[in-house]
Structure 1
């Protein structure tokens, strides 16, 4: 049986301490691990940070579940599907700019796990830093199985279709235009109707959090109150359930005799959540010049170097452009950060063609990039009246670590991407 209601409800706020119970009386008051939890439940702490992390950095939740997660048989290598999760291609990686169309040869008839394919990686999971970028294509629900990622937290970015994600801590419904954040170590199942495609950013470093606002002040960008965390929900199912775990870059499998989505109550500040990208409060210039793209940061994972992110999740949403005497698209630049960009819908304002929704591009550190010739010509000659960019949503997963494509990705990269910057006219200096 499941809990009494199938209604999906949410708690609001990012990083706050929540408490929620699916059965009244299941959540202990004043004690995290009482001698005898209510109803014979088991108290289990899920820690997303070291026990001794500073209080403002500490991420953990207490789960009160029907069986402890320690009850499982040994994991064995997963071989039940295509298993397209892979490490970087071997050998030197050229410093070339790369771009991909939406892959047309992703597996058909697969669920979320078997539909994942790794495109870019940049650190070994054992280092507890770095970020990987995956794509997914799925057209059936996960049945009799759950997924867990021990290597990092998962930022799921649907491009088409809706995902119903049943986690240990409750249910999330995530459509295109939303994102879901699943903490490292949380088990979940993905259900879908029809076909779903999208992206997954796997953050192996410090947990994502809202960026500091600095001189912007107390308001702007993503507001914590717009993030939604599920209320407790559970299922009581005594039937075989496969647990597929990503661990140290590989997939492993074991089978339980019950569903592990059996958390009846929980409290803490480590939990899944969802966020609608349309709620992002975009900041921009109202005079001249083009601000750095850091003003579009939704979530950030810091590195040990202040100001240099292990991973930033940045979006380019609909917005007004009003800057005077300003080149309005992203300018030509080289950067110590490495940029993996995806497109959810519409067109990206710095590329006239060739960048499709569901596609991906890569500009690694110090590679020159910017608008293509047609975008440069149009922006250079435009009459600079206020104009609103509409009908688009692009994003970037930026990292201080250079990305390395997988062999799968290298074999499918566009062959003529460099031509986007061909035929720029030479500047004419006065004689």
Structure 2
């Protein structure tokens, strides 16, 4: 497929109001070559060769086809049944067949310690924005996923299983005979630019802009660029959580369906790697430091598996939006796709929310988001869409981001906001041809030197005073109000 046709496919998908407009009879987009299992929170099983899965037990004395049984537990052995996450893999050789781990050079732009402000991490009292983060060009040398992760900010630390970190990734190279394993926590990966082919021990995940995937702690994976659909390389966002798992939010009065429906989450099918030859390196991240071991076979040698501790993906264009059909703007929590709990049952460590095409029908209402000060910190990033189209700041381009610290006063301030006060109250589609995600966290984040300086894309004049000139003191010009105040002064 040529460059023009490639871009046209992406453009058509971005123009959809909802996934159902594609009139597809399959669960994936046309570019995705893989088959998937469906259902968030389910027990799944898959076998590449019929009969590879043992029946009625997990670890037979001799596994079918001479395979080895290997268990992975994502939670404590004694976790409640509802919380237990674990699986059994049936592979050619156990994962322990490898060399010893040795220390290698760290990724200098990766950070995991956010316990208090230091020379390495800094508090932000208000708002900041970044224009599009730079994708390294080929002249700068190969940058794969292990080296292309850059930390923006976070809170807590992984070795105490407490907190989270926000990263971006920008890459121009594949992971040739290399796998990565995050021993610190879970990765939620958001594709923004380029298509990605992700190999896991459970099979493949194909990821493209407006899709997300979750790869859990301790699972090996390999992230490669699909060159046919990635003209510049690839870029996206990573939300890393420590000591908690992503869950679907409760639906409450919504009932049994809505928001991100469980059936729309896709899980890989077993797909053993038979094409790779030679030595492999396994890069492990632990406490933010990098270690490496080598082995003479592919780590993706699983022929069958069963369990519920499995990487998965979700297409954000399938999200079912809910908003008011009478008056007032609904709190943004109504757009939550996934949530990661904290130790405070009333305040999530992180909510992953999206804002895409939807209807706006409220009557007698100021329809844009109300001006507000939240206890949560807010991080926003545009996946695709026009620049400066309803962002928090003057510069809000696809591939960039913006952030408001908790209790920072904010809202939209431009001609559209003023116009909304006098707009005709008619039903209208909003957010067309664009998609933005937001992270709401109960944590106050600390930000890295790379985010605030070395990235080169921090917008230093993010909130100029002139931005608010469109919000005049109308009360001070209201004759009736001024008359009342003067009467009060005389009294």
Alignment TM-score > 0.5, same fold = yes
* SS of alignment partner, residue 295 of structure 1: helix
Measured in 1, the distance between the counterparts of 2:399 and 2:135 equals 13
Determine whether 1:22 maps to 2:48.
Answer: yes
How far does residue 259 in structure 1 lie from its aligned partner after superposition? 1.1
Deviation at 1:342, TM superposition (A): 0.8
> In 1, are the aligned partners of 2:135 and 2:170 still within 8 Å (CA)?
no
Choose from 368, 374, 377 the match for 1:335.
Answer: 374
Give the Cα separation in 1 of the matches to 2:125 and 2:33. 50
Displacement after TM superposition at 1:105 (Å): 6.9
Of 459, 468, 483, the residue aligned with 1:414 is: 459
- Measured after TM superposition, the shift of residue 54 of structure 1 is 1.3
**2:404 is the counterpart of 1:363:** yes
Contact 1:130 1:399 in 2 (8 A): no
CA distance in structure 2 between the partners assigned to 1:104 and 1:178 by the alignment: 21
Alignment of 1:15-414 (within 5 A): 15-79=41-105, 83-87=108-112, 90-91=118-119, 93-104=123-134, 106=136, 108=140, 109-192=142-225, 193=227, 194=230, 195-236=233-274, 237-347=276-386, 348-351=389-392, 353-389=394-430, 390-411=432-453, 412=456, 413-414=458-459
- Spell out, residue by residue over 1:74-100, the C-alpha distance to the aligned partner (whole angstroms, 9 max, x if none): 3233338x5421245725524121111
Larger radius of gyration, structure 1 or 2? 2
CA shift, 1:38, in A, is 1.7
What is the Cα deviation at residue 157 of structure 1? 0.7
Q: Please name the residue that 2:18 is paired with.
A: none
SS in 2 for 1:294: helix
| SS of alignment partner, residue 464 of structure 2 | helix
Q: Aligned residue for 1:3?
A: none
Instruction: Measure the CA separation in 2 of the matches of 1:134 and 1:329.
Output: 29
> What whole-Å deviation, never above 9, does each CA across 1:248-300 have from its counterpart, x for those lacking one?
12222221221111111100111111111110000000000011111000011
Q: 1:17 to 1:189 in 2, by over 3 A?
A: same
Q: Per the alignment, do residues 246 and 323 of structure 1 end up closer, same or farther by CA in structure 2, a change over 3 Å counting? A: same
Q: 2:394·2:463 contact (CA, 8 Å) conserved in 1?
A: no
Distance 2:181 2:108 in 1: 14
1:352 CA displacement:
7.2
Q: Secondary structure at the match of 1:381?
A: coil
Q: Output the aligned Cα RMSD.
A: 2.0
SS of 1:402's partner is coil
Contact 1:129 1:310 in 2 (8 A): no
Higher mean displacement: 255-264 or 67-76: 67-76
Q: From the superposition, tell whether residues 7 and 100 of structure 1 become closer, same or farther in structure 2 (CA, over 3 Å).
A: closer
Query: Is the contact between residue 352 and residue 375 of structure 1 (CA under 8 Å) also seen in structure 2?
Result: no
- Range with greater deviation from structure 2 (364-373 or 287-296): 364-373
Contiguous gaps of at least 5 residues in structure 2: 1-31, 483-491
3-state secondary structure, aligned to 1:422: helix
Distance 1:292 1:11 in 2: 33
The Cα of 1:106 is off from its aligned counterpart by 4.7
Structure 1 regions of 5+ residues with no counterpart?
1-5
Displacement, 1:246? 1.3
Cα displacement string for residues 84-138 of structure 1 (whole angstroms, at most 9, x for unaligned residues): 2124572552412111111237575322222211111111011212221111112
Taking a change above 3 Å as real, the CA distance of residues 123 and 38 of structure 1, as seen in their structure-2 partners, is: same
Q: Distance in 2 between matches of 1:314 and 1:221?
A: 10
Cα-to-partner distance string for 1:372-401 (whole Å, 9 max, x where unaligned): 233422322322211101111000122111
CA contact 1:350–1:370 (8 Å) conserved in 2? no
The structure-2 alpha-carbon separation of the partners of 1:382 and 1:350, relative to structure 1 and needing over 3 Å to count, comes to farther
Contact between 1:153 and 1:207, CA under 8 Å: does it hold in 2? Answer: yes
Query: Given that residues 152 and 204 in structure 1 are in contact (C-alpha distance below 8 angstroms), is that contact kept between their aligned partners in structure 2?
Result: yes
CA distance in 1, matches of 2:336, 2:58: 35
Q: Are the equivalent residues in 1 in contact too, given 2:192–2:384 (CA < 8 A)?
A: yes
- Aligned partners of 1:86 and 1:406 also within 8 Å: yes
Distance 1:83 1:40 in 2: 43
Count of matched residue pairs: 425
Residue 53 of structure 2: SS of its match in structure 1? coil
For residues 353 and 359 of structure 2, the distance between their equivalents in structure 1, rounded to whole angstroms, comes to 17
